[in-house]
């Protein structure tokens, strides 16, 4: 009889241990979805330049400890540059392109360039998938491709080099203030000029990367059916009632 | 007189279009006779109409005419497939993607040939079923619309 309380205690202990394990897993999953941004300095810098970068977060390694280190959090944050291209065959290329450009404006994007039926647009990264699917749905897909390039390392590398260059410039400025020989002053000024150019180049590079992350690039090509199958014939039909058919007529006033 | 009115009512009921609408459709009161119109809450539109045509034609002729009409207007229809309505009539159906009112949409059209009766004033008719909706909705309920065509009488 005395064994029964001991067995109960053991069973309860096992049960509580199992619950604790399950609870830990749930906490980890929760973290995976809400991983905090660790590239605040990066995003702040981008916002300063008038462009808010979208830092795409990937879920952490599920085998890692429940409380990730700051390094792990940084590894989970990624800056992705989205690029895509879709070519579709549509009934009326001009109408489709006009509708697409109107949507792009609605999504907060803009036309970057146009060459014939090919439109290169920039849309906020968060809208890239929507825009991509919109073009796919506009007609018969002839060709499509998309990629997401990870530029996190590149961005951080430029940031580190930029910071070092700025520190060097400060040191040179301090040296310049102390220099009393004209020859030294000229040498330091020459170094300063080169360094300033380098800093400006790196700042431009950083800004470009930030812009590419914030705004995805989508190339949409609208080819009219006529381009593939001969000229569109607008001859009068022998059966006038056929003219009353069609999606545009159906969507007209009822 | 009452019998005549009853017979006329029955005749009119027999002539009107009947179709088991797919879920989510609401039939609209039509101002034109021989016309069935239905809508979905999110903008999908279904319409069935009969058109008087010349006698001694075939369904293949009208399927080709529909294809040619849409090709001439820049539509790109698929190869089409055979369909059967609720009365056992053989027809031809096509699907297409297009942009209407600035939005990408799907379009479905089916044609049936209904030969006239032996009566001298009777004419052959082509019955046309059309359905269009925004692409997402079209992909979702297009199959249900096509299935409903099989109940058309």
Most distant CA pair in chain A: distance in Å? Answer: 101
What are B89-110's pLDDT values in tens digits? 999 999 988 777 777 888 999 9
DSSP three-state, residue B18:
coil
DSSP three-state, residue B59:
helix
Number of CB pairs, chain A paired with chain B, less than 8 A apart: 107
Write the DSSP assignment of B79-145 as a string of letters: --EEEE-TT--EEEEEEEEEEETTEEEEEEEEEEEE---SSTT--EEEEEEEEEEEHHHHHHHHHHH
A140 Cβ under 8 Å from any chain B Cβ: yes
A139 Cβ under 8 Å from any chain B Cβ: yes
pLDDT band, very low/low/confident/very high, at B136 (cuts 50, 70, 90):
confident
A138 Cβ under 8 Å from any chain B Cβ: yes
> b or e along A217-252 (b: 16 or more beta carbons within 10 Å of the residue's beta carbon)?
bbbbbbbbbbeeeeebeeeeeeeeebeebbbbebbe
pLDDT at B125: 93
A253 Cβ under 8 Å from any chain B Cβ: no
pLDDT band, very low/low/confident/very high, at B77 (cuts 50, 70, 90):
confident
- Torsions phi, psi for A47 (to 5 deg): -65, -35
Contacts of B98 in chain A (CB under 8 A): 90-92, 139, 247-248
Kindly tell me the burial class for residue B119, based on how many C-beta atoms sit within 10 Å of its own C-beta (0-12, 13-18, 19 or more).
exposed
Q: Are B136 and A250 a contacting pair at CB < 8 A?
A: no
What's the whole-number mean pLDDT along residues B16-29? Answer: 89
Q: Are B136 and A137 a contacting pair at CB < 8 A?
A: yes
The DSSP letter of residue B77 is B
CA distance A80 to chain B (A): 28
Asked whether residue B55 is domain-assigned, the answer is: yes
B interface with A, Cβ–Cβ < 8 A, is: 28, 37, 39, 43, 45, 47, 49, 51, 53, 65-66, 69-76, 96-105, 107, 109, 128, 130-132, 135-136
- Domains in chain B: how many in total? 1
What's the whole-number mean pLDDT along residues B56-77? Answer: 85
> Rounded to an integer, what distance in angstroms lies between the CA atom of residue B107 and that of residue A226?
19
A167 Cβ under 8 Å from any chain B Cβ: no
Q: Looking at chain A, which residue has its C-alpha nearest residue B137?
A: A137
Asked whether residue B103 is domain-assigned, the answer is: yes
Contacts of B74 in chain A (CB under 8 A): 90-92, 224-226, 232
- Torsions phi, psi for B39 (to 5 deg): -130, 155
Q: Are A91 and B69 a contacting pair at CB < 8 A?
A: no
Asked whether residue B101 is domain-assigned, the answer is: yes
H-helix or E-strand containing A88?
strand A77-90
pLDDT at A45: 38
> Rounded to an integer, what distance in angstroms lies between the CA atom of residue A46 and that of residue A229?
48
H-helix or E-strand containing A122?
strand A118-124
H-helix or E-strand containing A152?
helix A152-178
Neighbouring CB atoms inside 10 A of A29's CB total: 13
Q: Are A246 and B107 a contacting pair at CB < 8 A?
A: yes
What's the whole-number mean pLDDT along residues B62-84? Answer: 85
pLDDT at A248: 85
Encode chain A (254 residues) as per-residue pLDDT tens digits: 445 555 455 444 444 443 333 333 333 233 233 333 333 333 343 334 333 333 343 333 444 444 555 654 554 478 999 999 999 988 778 888 999 999 999 999 999 999 889 999 999 999 999 999 999 888 888 889 999 999 999 999 999 999 999 999 999 999 999 999 999 999 999 999 999 999 999 999 999 999 999 999 999 999 887 544 444 555 667 888 998 899 888 888 77
Give the mutation candidate from B49, B103, B104 for the A interface (greatest A CB count, under 10 A). B104
Asked whether residue B4 is domain-assigned, the answer is: no
Instruction: Please give the residue range of the domain that contains residue B100.
Output: 18-149
Contacts of B138 in chain A (CB under 8 A): none
Asked whether residue B10 is domain-assigned, the answer is: no
CA distance B76 to chain A (A): 6
> Rounded to an integer, what distance in angstroms lies between the CA atom of residue B86 and that of residue B147?
10
For the entire predicted model, the pTM comes to 0.53
Asked whether residue B13 is domain-assigned, the answer is: no
Edge to edge, what strands does the sheet with B124-134 contain? B25-28, B35-40, B45-53, B124-134, B103-114, B90-100, B81-84
Contacts 24+ apart (CB under 8 A), B31-38: B37/A254
Asked whether residue B11 is domain-assigned, the answer is: no
CA distance B149 to chain A (A): 17
| ipTM for this prediction | 0.85
Asked whether residue B27 is domain-assigned, the answer is: yes
């Amino acid at each position: 009889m005395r064994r029964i309380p001991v067995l109960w205690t053991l069973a309860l202990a096992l049960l509580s241990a199992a619950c604790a394990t399950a609870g830990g897993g749930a906490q980890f999953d929760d973290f995976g979805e809400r991983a905090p941004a660790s590239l605040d300095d990066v995003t702040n810098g981008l916002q300063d330049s008038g462009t808010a970068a979208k830092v795409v977060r990937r879920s952490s390694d599920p085998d890692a400890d429940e409380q990730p280190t700051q390094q792990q959090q940084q590894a989970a944050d990624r800056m992705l540059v989205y690029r895509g291209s879709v070519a579709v065959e549509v009934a009326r290329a001009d109408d489709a392109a006009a509708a697409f450009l109107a949507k792009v404006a609605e999504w907060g994007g803009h036309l970057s360039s146009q060459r014939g039926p090919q439109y290169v647009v920039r849309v906020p990264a968060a809208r890239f998938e929507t825009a991509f699917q919109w073009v796919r749905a506009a007609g018969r897909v002839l060709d499509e491709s998309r990629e997401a390039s990870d530029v996190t390392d590149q961005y951080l590398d430029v940031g580190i080099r930029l910071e070092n260059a700025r520190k060097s410039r400060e040191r040179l400025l301090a040296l310049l203030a102390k220099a009393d020989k004209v020859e030294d002053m000229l040498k330091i000024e020459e170094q300063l000029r080169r360094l300033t150019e380098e800093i400006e180049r790196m700042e431009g590079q950083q800004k470009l990367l930030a812009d590419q992350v914030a705004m995805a690039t989508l190339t949409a090509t609208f080819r009219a059916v006529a381009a593939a199958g001969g000229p569109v014939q607008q001859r009068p039909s022998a059966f006038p009632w056929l003219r009353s058919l069609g999606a545009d007529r159906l969507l007209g006033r009822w | 007189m009452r019998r005549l009115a009853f017979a006329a009512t029955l005749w009119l009921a027999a002539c009107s279009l009947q179709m088991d609408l797919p879920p989510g459709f609401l039939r609209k009161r039509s101002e034109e006779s021989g016309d069935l119109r239905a809508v979905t809450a999110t903008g999908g539109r279904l319409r069935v109409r009969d058109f008087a045509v010349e006698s001694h034609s075939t369904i293949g002729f009208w399927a080709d005419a529909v294809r040619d009409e849409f090709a001439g207007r820049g539509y790109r229809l698929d190869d089409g497939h055979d369909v059967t309505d609720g009365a056992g009539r053989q027809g031809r159906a096509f699907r297409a993607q297009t942009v209407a009112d600035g939005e990408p949409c799907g379009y479905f059209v089916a044609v049936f040939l209904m030969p006239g009766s032996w009566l001298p004033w009777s004419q052959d008719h082509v019955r046309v079923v059309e359905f269009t909706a925004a692409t997402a909705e079209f992909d979702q309920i297009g199959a249900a619309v096509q299935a409903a065509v099989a109940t058309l009488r």
